[in-house]
Amino acid sequence: MLKSLYSGVSGMSANMTQLDVIGNNIANSNTIGFKSGRATFNEVLTQTIRSASRPVAGGLGGTNPQQIGLGTSVGSIDTNFVQGNFQTTGIKTDLAIQGPGFFVLSDGTNMSYTRAGVFGLDANNFLVNPSTGLKLQGVMAAVDGSIGNGPITDLFIDPSMVVPAQASTAVQLIGNLDADADARGSVLQTASLLVAAETNDLLVDLSGQRNGNLGLFPGDIISFNGTSGGSNLGTSTYVVTANSTLQDLLDWMNSHNPGLSFSMSADPTKPGAIAVQNATGGDVSGLSLSVSGRTNFNTNFLFPGAIANGSSATTADVSDAAGQLRGYAAAGDALVDLFTANGTRLGLDLSSGSTSLVVGGDRGGSEVQSTVLTVDATTTVADLMACIQQGFAINSNPVEINAEGRIVVRGEVGTDSSIGMITIDELNNNNNTVTSAFFFSTTQQARDQSTFTVSTTVYDSLGGRHTVTFDFQKVPGQSEWIWQATVEGGEEILEGGSGRMRFNETGAISNFSYDNGASGLVFRPQPANEEGAQLVTLRIDYGTIGGLNGLTQFEGTGRLVSLADGYTAGTLVDFEIDQSGLLVGRFSNDTMRDIGRIALAQFNNENGLIREANNTYRISGNSGTAMIAFAGEGNGLSLTPGALETSNVDLAQEFTNLVVAQRAFQANSRVVSTGDTLMQELVNMIR
């Protein structure tokens, strides 16, 4: 009887302990960094009524022991260190640990450990737990911002921290220099000027008496048409090539029918016409040349409707036909022999033996002094071009007439020599044909040499600011640039202030050099008679030779960027904490420097830690010593700034455990009450 009473009492005691653990878990369901606990039970001693016996050979078998248990006891109360969820707070000093580790706290004498990452700054700028004042431990950085492996100590944010000035040592140049940056002059040209065609003119260049170019192209097929005495003259064709001349065409026409003889007309009133002599023995009719789709050509190669045997005719004899051929003018052609691009004669008035052309216009925004050219029957296009060159003071480039009969004027480079307009008029004769024939259209505007400039701020050893400006100017006609560096103020450049650089055909830099054999840009930060900062020596980083990671030269917009290292002195403005636990200071000179690093502790047996108040733990004989570690070093530890780890209590599970513990307690109390009833019956037996 008494054994059951003791068993029931032990069961009630053990389940009361479990209820205490569950109650503590539920109470701390919102406690930051809290780790839930659990209670496990062990059976206490048992009483053996009869021991076991072995089987007897040839006789009875063995018997099992008979034992009665004496109840239960609490075997262990364990802590569940399963990772809790993260709650974002946005407060930079709130930290959550991901992985098996603890923050290290100190009261100045003893160390304690916690998962609750609620921290802030105290009045002396130490990082502390604001509810307990315990100081967060870590490693402080050296003066230069380096963090070694020294002993852990209180983490301190020094508001008077200063980053000393660092002198600049390099300037990086990045961007494109426009390959089309040369200075250039104005280019103006007329429409094509024509003269009567000659036998050596190319067919593809020929124009007609009106309507301009005949429109022939290589590959066009010319057909010979006509009859003699009612018989067809034949169906032979001529294929135009890029080198076919008018003489080639005449030779083919002459070989096509021996009875017809073709040549250029000797009649001065029919310049450029083709003459034919009929000796076929019959009258020729419908004589012409034609090309499919070439209307202007077909119009200019029509002969009269009937050409009697023994007579001659020209293409110019056809009524309303444009039968005179024109070729491109050349420098040696007389001005009186010129035609416009549409085949109209200039009509210079030489009735008195000569006339005058007035050449005028403007240069550099100012009107040039007019030049008068006296024109007679021997005055050539070359004479007119020489007059233009003299009138516009062009020394570098001759005025020329190109292969298409256009007079081309190339002015001196630069906007000061820009040619805005060229006019040529016949004096005392309102000759609009001359004016329009010598109308110059601008094909290229004058411009000055382009200079590309970029500036950057560099620092001396005392933090003084200096503005260095680089100017780049292209060498005309080459892939070479001259660069020049200047420093604002009273600074004196001692060496390396200028140089040259070249680019290859792919636009990549191929050479960069300093003048006078210098190896860098060196300047004195202050006048020579004053003491102060050290000389500033800058290495100019232009990119990789043959690469496109620095300066390049492509045609297009030029845009440069310059970056320099170094900085002035700066004071601490703010700090932040990264995922590896680094305390990084942000300074007034826009630099960042490490202040310290948060230390974390790991244990061989974290369940061996002893819980203390305020979410802290201390080591025990079974936890092992604290092993100091840092987040982000491949140990499975990382920090999440601006967040806190919540309690890992599972309320649903705890309520379930609560019901189970309650029922177990009730059942054990029923055992005690039943045992009491039986003992009462024993007492009643002696009455």
Which pLDDT value is given to residue 48? Answer: 79
Distance (Å, rounded) from C-alpha 337 to C-alpha 381?
Answer: 10
DSSP assignment of 166-215, as one string? B---EEEEEEE--SS---BEEEEE-PPPEEE--TTSBGGG-B-SSSSB--
Contact 374, 367 (CB under 8 A): no
Residue 212 and residue 468 in contact, taking contact as beta carbons nearer than 8 Å: no
Q: Give me the average pLDDT of each 10-residue run along the chain (687 residues).
A: 76 89 92 92 82 86 84 88 93 95 95 96 96 96 87 94 93 94 92 94 91 91 89 85 95 88 92 92 90 92 91 88 89 94 89 94 94 95 96 93 95 92 92 94 92 94 93 90 90 93 95 93 78 89 94 89 93 94 94 94 94 94 93 91 94 91 88 82 76
Stated length of the chain = 687
Helical spans, DSSP H, in 32-170: none
Long-range contacts from 228-233, C-beta under 8 angstroms, 24+ separation: 228/257, 228/259, 228/278, 228/280, 228/281, 228/282, 228/283, 228/284, 229/280, 229/281, 229/282, 229/283, 230/282, 231/282, 233/257, 233/260, 233/284, 233/287
Whole-angstrom distance, CA of residue 253 vs CA of residue 536: 85
Rounded CA Rg of the chain = 54
The structure tokens listed for 124 are 């002396």
Residues 527, 529, 535, 538, CA torsion sign = positive
Tokens 């948060």, residue located:
598
Beta bridge partners of 104: 113
**What pLDDT score does 148 carry?**
84
207 with 340: CB under 8 angstroms? no
**β-pair partners for 112:** 105
Among 397, 290, 371, 383, which residue's Cα sits nearest to residue 336? Answer: 383
Quickly name the fold that domain 202-324 has. Immunoglobulin-like (2.60.40)
Contact criterion met (CB below 8 Å) for 111 and 626: yes
Let me know if 323 is exposed, middle or buried by CB neighbors in 10 A (0-12, 13-18, 19+): buried
Domain with CATH 2.60.40 in the chain: 202-324
At residue 246, the 3 state secondary structure works out as: helix
Rounded to whole angstroms, how far apart are CA atoms 26 and 29?
5
What does the pLDDT read at residue 530? 56
Question: CA torsion 276→278→284→286, rounded to 10°?
Answer: -10
Indicate the angle between helix axes 651-684 and 2-27, nearest 10 degrees: 160
The amino acid at residue 111 is M
pLDDT of residue 3: 76
Domain(s) labelled CATH 2.60.98.20 in the chain stretch across 170-181+449-567
Architecture of domain 170-181+449-567: Sandwich (2.60)
CB 557 within 8 A of CB 176: yes
Q: Locate the DSSP E strands across 11-149.
A: 37-43, 46-50, 66-69, 72-79, 86-88, 95-98, 102-106, 111-114, 120-121, 127-128, 135-140
**CA 344 to CA 431: how far, in whole Å?**
12
Alpha-carbon span 368 to 376, nearest angstrom: 25
Q: Where are the alpha helices (DSSP H) in 503-602?
A: none
Q: What is the pLDDT of residue 257?
A: 81
Separation of first and last alpha carbons in the chain: 20
Of 539, 412, 551, the residue nearest 479 (C-alpha): 551
